[in-house]
């Protein structure tokens, strides 16, 4: 079944507003064109769903290594102890019911010339167009002490929601009262959420209840707090007193894993629990395929079509792309990318003109305690002269103050966007 724009806005729930702005497509006559989607996160799952929703008989195949979706947004609440992993986990059954072919496998290679995706289990998929939403991987090569599997299992990032999220929580539980938890934040850009300043709040919230003599140390490689500064600093002072210490310009040189020591440009910092977020880049399959074209980290795209600047017929979205000015690498933004990309792909397959003026919306909620939340929002539009997305003047903004009402909004946002992606 195909759905037009007007019908979609009536029924789409959480994603309707974003899609009305991003543009959508209702297509007939596409036949059995095949679009393969790599990745089943906020970007890939959304793209697969809307390709099928709008594309009718089009063949949509989504390849995802994991059996279930686990949300990075809200995963800091598992570390803080107010949620568990089941609260963040959803299946892909809704996509299957919608007609998407979900393949649990690892992509090992892409041949852009032959339009073939190869899989770890030995099969191959041909495509007319390919959407790649690989998320991020970590640049461990920049941190010699962490550039091996054993060290990575001890000094955790817990930035991809899953086993490391649970493992970091266990490290905090095992820490003695009076100990120090230190989180190192790389220079922006990086995937967020989970947000580093939110994580500091969640750990402090746990310490306040269970280990009140303990301390949270934020080692930030950036010159200053990069998001919601006033709201975070007020929350730290009001809710946690001197439990949280923030240090800017804390550039990481290396890690001594044996002693849980962060070796910084201006000295060493030892912690009882050391949580290091390495610098990030586009996911490994993007690197292997030559899709990374900017700073050896990110993938450049055409913002009208999401087509890669490196290879024709391959579209990129989500955290992996070189973001436009002031555009966050967030789950909500990946969801917005996906809808705009799906619409453009269907237009191109049908040889129609793509939407010349897409707009995207983003909201990020941060839990500064178990019950109080702050947010930041933004709206982005296409600038034809600059050939990129720019923020809409006067749009978005931040919370006036933290509140429990915002917590309810944040929870509703999560439930709605998961339904938008997966139901």
Please check the confidence at residue 85 and state whether its pLDDT lies above 50.
Answer: yes
In whole angstroms, give the CA distance from residue 44 to residue 53. Answer: 14
* Predicted local distance difference test score (pLDDT) of residue 378: 97
Backbone phi, then psi, for 10, in 5-degree steps? -70, -30
* Residue among 275, 317, 331 at smallest CA distance from 74: 331
Percent of the chain scored above 90 by pLDDT?
A: 92
Question: Of 28-32, 113-117, 158-162, 269-273, which gets the smallest average pLDDT?
Answer: 28-32
| CATH code assigned at 181 | 3.50.50.60
Q: Is residue 301 part of a domain?
A: yes
Q: Are residues 129 and 170 in the same domain?
A: no
Please check the confidence at residue 19 and state whether its pLDDT lies above 70.
Answer: no
Q: Is residue 404 part of a domain?
A: no
Q: What is the mean pLDDT of residues 354-367?
A: 97
Question: Of 12-26, 223-237, 248-262, 359-373, which gets the smallest average pLDDT?
Answer: 12-26
Q: Is residue 385 part of a domain?
A: no
pLDDT single digits (tens) 180-210: 999 999 999 999 999 999 999 999 999 999 9
* Predicted local distance difference test score (pLDDT) of residue 5: 37
* Predicted local distance difference test score (pLDDT) of residue 107: 98
* Predicted local distance difference test score (pLDDT) of residue 16: 40
By residue range, what is the domain housing residue 67?
A: 5-138+282-355+414-422
Q: What is the mean pLDDT of residues 173-183?
A: 98
Q: Are residues 147 and 268 in the same domain?
A: yes
Q: Is residue 408 part of a domain?
A: no
Q: What is the mean pLDDT of residues 107-125?
A: 98
C-alpha to C-alpha distances, 38 to 95, 129, 130, 317, 397, nearest whole angstrom: 14, 11, 8, 10, 33
* Residue among 141, 118, 137, 130 at smallest CA distance from 298: 137
pLDDT-based confidence at 32, cuts 50/70/90?
A: confident
Q: Are residues 201 and 272 in the same domain?
A: yes
Residue predicted with more confidence, 12 or 330:
330
Long-range contacts of 322-326 (CB under 8 A, 24+ apart): 322/293, 322/294, 322/295, 322/298, 323/189, 323/298, 324/380, 324/388, 324/389, 324/390, 325/388, 325/389, 325/390, 325/391, 326/378, 326/380, 326/391
* Predicted local distance difference test score (pLDDT) of residue 29: 54
Q: What is the mean pLDDT of residues 385-414?
A: 96
- What pTM, to 2 d.p., does this model score? 0.93
Q: Is residue 150 part of a domain?
A: yes
Q: Are residues 258 and 163 in the same domain?
A: yes
* Predicted local distance difference test score (pLDDT) of residue 28: 55
What's the token pair of residue 340? 């705009």
3-state SS, residue 128: coil
Q: Rounded mean pLDDT of the chain?
A: 93
Structurally, the chain folds into a number of domains equal to 2
* Domain final position from 276, 297, 313: 276
């Amino acid at each position: 079944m195909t759905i037009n724009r007007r019908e979609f806005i009536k029924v789409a729930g959480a994603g309707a507003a974003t899609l009305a702005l991003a543009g959508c497509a209702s297509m007939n006559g596409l036949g059995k064109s095949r679009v393969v989607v790599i990745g089943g996160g906020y970007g890939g799952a959304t793209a697969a769903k809307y390709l099928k929703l709008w594309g009718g008989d089009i063949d949509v195949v989504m390849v995802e290594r994991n059996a279930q979706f686990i949300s990075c947004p809200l995963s800091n609440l598992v570390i803080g102890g107010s949620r568990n992993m089941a609260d963040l986990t959803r299946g892909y059954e809704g996509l299957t019911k919608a007609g998407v072919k979900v393949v649990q496998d690892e992509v090992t290679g892409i041949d852009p010339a032959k339009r073939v995706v190869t899989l770890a289990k030995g099969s191959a998929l041909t495509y007319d167009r390919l959407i790649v939403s690989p998320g991020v991987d970590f640049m461990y090569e920049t941190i010699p002490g962490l550039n091996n599997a054993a060290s990575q299992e001890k000094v955790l990032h817990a930035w991809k929601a899953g086993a490391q999220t649970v493992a970091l929580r266990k490290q905090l539980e095992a820490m003695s009262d009076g100990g120090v938890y230190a989180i190192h934040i790389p220079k922006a850009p990086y995937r967020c959420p989970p947000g580093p300043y939110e994580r500091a709040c969640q750990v402090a919230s746990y310490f306040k209840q269970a280990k009140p003599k303990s301390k949270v140390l934020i080692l930030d490689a950036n010159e200053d707090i990069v998001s919601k500064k006033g709201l975070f600093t007020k929350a730290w002072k009001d809710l946690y007193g001197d439990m949280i210490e923030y240090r800017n310009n804390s550039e990481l040189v290396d890690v001594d894993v044996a002693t849980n020591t962060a070796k910084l440009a201006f000295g060493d910092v030892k912690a009882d629990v050391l949580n290091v977020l390495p610098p990030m880049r586009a996911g490994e399959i993007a690197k292997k395929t030559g899709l990374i074209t900017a700073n050896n980290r990110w993938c450049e795209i055409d913002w009208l079509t999401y087509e890669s600047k490196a290879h024709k017929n391959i579209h990129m979205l989500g955290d992996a792309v070189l973001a436009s000015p002031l555009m966050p690498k967030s789950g909500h933004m990946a969801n917005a990318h996906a809808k705009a990309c799906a619409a453009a792909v269907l237009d191109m397959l049908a040889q129609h003109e793509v939407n010349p003026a897409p707009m995207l919306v983003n909201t990020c909620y941060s839990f500064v305690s178990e019950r109080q939340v702050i947010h930041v929002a933004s709206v982005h539009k296409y600038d034809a002269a600059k050939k990129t997305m720019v923020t809409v003047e006067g749009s978005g903004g931040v919370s006036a103050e933290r509140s429990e009402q915002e917590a309810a909004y944040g929870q509703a946002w999560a439930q709605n966007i998961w339904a938008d992606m997966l139901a």
